[in-house]
Amino acid sequence: MLDFLARKRQPDAPDIDIRARIRGFSVEVMPRTANKVDAFDKIFPKGTRVYIAHIEGTPLDEMVATARRLADAGMHAMPHIPARLIAGEAMLADWLARYCGEAGVSQALLLAGGVAARPGSFASSMEMMETGLFDRYGFTRLHVAGHPEGNRDIDIGGGTAIVDEALRWKQGFAARTDADVAIVTQFLFEAEPLLGWIARLREAGITLPVHAGLAGPAKLTTLIKYAASCGVGASLKVLQRRALDVGRLMVPYEPTDIIADIVRAERAAGAPLVEQLHFFPFGGIKACADWARRKSGEAAAR
pTM metric for this prediction: 0.87
User: Is 273 part of a structural domain of the chain?
Assistant: yes
Contacts 24+ apart (CB under 8 A), 89-96: 89/131, 89/133, 92/122, 92/128, 92/131, 92/133, 93/133, 93/136, 93/137, 95/60, 96/133, 96/134, 96/136, 96/137, 96/139
Q: Which of 282, 272, 302, 159 is nearest to 220 (CA)?
A: 282
Residue-number span of the structural domain to which 156 is assigned: 3-293
Distance CA 149, CA 29 (A): 23
User: Is 299 part of a structural domain of the chain?
Assistant: no
Lowest-confidence segment of 2-11, 34-43, 89-98 by average pLDDT = 2-11
Is residue 88 within 8 Å of residue 100, measured between CB atoms?
no
What count of other Cβ atoms lies within 10 Å of the Cβ of residue 291? 21
According to DSSP, the residues that pair with 80 across neighbouring strands are 109
User: Is 137 part of a structural domain of the chain?
Assistant: yes
Residue 273: per-residue pLDDT = 97
Distance CA 225, CA 240 (A): 12
User: Is 9 part of a structural domain of the chain?
Assistant: yes
User: Is 280 part of a structural domain of the chain?
Assistant: yes
Q: What is the pLDDT of residues 243-293, one digit of tens each?
A: 544 445 455 789 999 999 999 999 999 999 999 999 999 889 999 999 999
Confidence grade of residue 189 (pLDDT, cut at 50, 70, 90): confident
Distance CA 95, CA 29 (A): 19
User: Is 31 part of a structural domain of the chain?
Assistant: yes
User: Is 301 part of a structural domain of the chain?
Assistant: no
Residue 228: per-residue pLDDT = 54
User: Is 265 part of a structural domain of the chain?
Assistant: yes
Q: What is the CATH number of the domain that holds 7?
A: 3.20.20.220
Instruction: Pick from 7-21, 51-65, 219-233 the range whose average pLDDT is largest.
Output: 51-65
Contacts 24+ apart (CB under 8 A), 236-242: 236/189, 237/190, 238/189, 238/190, 239/189
| Number of folded domains that form the chain | 1
